[in-house]
């Protein structure tokens, strides 16, 4: 009999370009044989397109804590699922169904203080699935390692034109969850690079929420870089792999989600990366990125120049990216995940 697993579809509705949404898509497309996936979406039936090959159920709510603490456990029982699998850093405290957590966020976002406490408490009863290329995290719950994996769409070699017609032919891509402080630091770094490369290689931001788009747009004149920075208002989820492949290099700032992050996507696409020199970042990219000390904003600007102007340096980073991603095995990931499902079902 197939193992029935209920997948938490919250990020597909509320954060479709997020690391959590992309890792959820990865889990669904790499679903092991012998596992029946059931996708739960917090919206009305017909309000979101469903994958034709996946059983999808709908339960409309805007309350994230209610969704995690009450509705997902109830839906799991109603549909006889033996496991709930989520990519949020949260789990039900009182639910009877065992939860697998594949963290693709650094914290339980969008919760009240009480909701965050409940989510954290639920983790103590959950199985935390952690990528084997990162140092082990100090989290409540049972920590189990899984091989690194990325959505197959980021590994396809051909570059198709992204639907946004305003996209330049060459550009540096910034994609991820970025706050106001990180935007200001990145703009400060860009002032050192824009005069040299801004006309040919503009800085393109994709996937920012409305508040951060507005904040960034308002700050551009202050830094005198409005001519060399593009903000993509809308990016469809299906366009993101092509956006990565079409870019000249990836600029990564912000919190690093364990699964589904832009660094893994960049490596899978064989792209040079500029990022801050931090332990988890180094663990993922190794020698496949130009890493800069965290507080050296001028050096970060110089790194952005180097990866597109110095062809040898850029090519070396791209080769390292291909080599690093070549060791990732979707088959091994599915095999190990199936073993864990069987343990807990």
Average pLDDT over residues 311-319: 93
Predicted confidence (pLDDT) per residue in 269-307, tens digit: 999 999 999 999 999 999 899 999 988 999 999 999 999
Its CATH class, for the domain covering 155-326, is alpha beta
pLDDT tens, residue by residue, 46-61: 666 666 678 999 999 9
| Architecture label for domain 3-149+329-344 | 3-Layer(aba) Sandwich (3.40)
| CB of 203 closer than 8 Å to CB of 188 | no
Tell me how far apart the alpha carbons of residues 193 and 187 are, in angstroms, rounded to a whole number: 10
Give me the pLDDT at residue 164, please: 54
> Whole-angstrom Cα distance, residue 114 to residue 233?
33
pLDDT reading at 117 higher than 90: no
Q: Which run of H or of E encompasses 94?
A: none
Confidence of residue 193 (pLDDT cuts 50, 70, 90): very high
CB neighbours (10 Å) of residue 3?
17
Q: Rounded CA gap, 264 and 142, in Å?
A: 24
Is residue 3 a contact partner of residue 342, using CB atoms and an 8 Å limit?
yes
- Tell whether the model's pLDDT for residue 116 goes beyond 90: no
- Confidence bin at 122 (pLDDT 50/70/90): confident
- CA dist 235 and 154 (Å) reads 16
| Domain 3-149+329-344 identical in fold to domain 155-326 | yes
Percent of the chain having pLDDT more than 70?
93
Q: Helix, strand or coil for residue 290? A: strand
With a cut of 60, say whether residue 95 has pLDDT above it.
yes
- The per-residue pLDDT for 52 is 60
Domain residue ranges in the chain = 3-149+329-344, 155-326
Average pLDDT score over residue span 130-148: 93
- The span from the CA of 40 to the CA of 72, in Å, is 8
Give the pLDDT score at 264: 95
Give the mean pLDDT of the chain. Answer: 91
- Judge residue 158's burial from the number of C-beta atoms within 10 Å of its C-beta, 0-12 exposed, 13-18 middle, 19 or more buried: exposed
The tens digit of pLDDT for each residue in 204-220 reads: 999 898 999 999 999 99
- Is 80 exceeded by the pLDDT of residue 165? no
Instruction: Please give the Cα distance from 120 to 108 (Å, whole number).
Output: 8
């Amino acid at each position: 009999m197939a193992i029935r697993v209920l997948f938490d579809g919250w990020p597909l509705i509320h954060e479709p370009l997020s690391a959590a949404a992309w890792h959820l898509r990865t889990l669904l497309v790499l679903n092991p044989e012998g596992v029946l996936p059931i996708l739960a979406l917090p919206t009305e039936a017909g309000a979101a397109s469903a994958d034709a090959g996946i059983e999808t159920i709908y339960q409309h709510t805007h309350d994230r804590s209610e969704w995690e603490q009450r509705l997902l456990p109830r839906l799991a029982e109603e549909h006889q699922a033996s496991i709930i699998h989520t990519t949020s850093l949260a789990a039900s405290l009182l639910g009877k169904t065992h939860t697998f957590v594949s963290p693709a966020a650094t914290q339980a976002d969008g919760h009240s203080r009480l909701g965050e406490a409940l989510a954290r408490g639920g983790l103590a009863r959950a199985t935390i699935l952690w990528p084997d290329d990162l140092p082990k995290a100090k989290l409540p719950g049972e920590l189990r390692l899984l091989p690194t994996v990325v959505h197959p769409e980021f590994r396809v070699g051909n570059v198709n034109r992204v639907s946004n017609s305003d996209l330049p032919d060459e550009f540096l891509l910034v994609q991820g969850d970025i706050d106001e402080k990180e935007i200001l630091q990145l703009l400060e770094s860009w002032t050192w690079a824009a005069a040299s490369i801004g006309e040919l290689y503009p800085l393109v931001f994709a996937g920012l929420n409305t508040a951060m788009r507005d904040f960034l747009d308002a700050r551009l004149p202050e830094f005198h870089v409005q001519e060399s920075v593009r903000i993509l208002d809308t990016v469809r989820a299906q366009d993101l792999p092509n956006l990565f492949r079409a870019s000249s290099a990836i600029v990564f700032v912000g919190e690093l989600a364990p699964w589904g992050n832009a660094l893994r996507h960049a490596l899978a696409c064989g792209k040079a990366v500029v990022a801050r020199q931090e332990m988890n970042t180094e663990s993922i990219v190794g020698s496949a990125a130009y890493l800069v000390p965290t507080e050296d904003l001028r050096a970060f600007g110089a790194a952005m120049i180097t990866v597109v102007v110095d062809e040898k340096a850029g090519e070396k980073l791209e080769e390292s990216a291909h080599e690093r991603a070549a060791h990732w095995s979707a088959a091994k990931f599915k095999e190990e995940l199936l073993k864990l499902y069987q343990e807990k079902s």
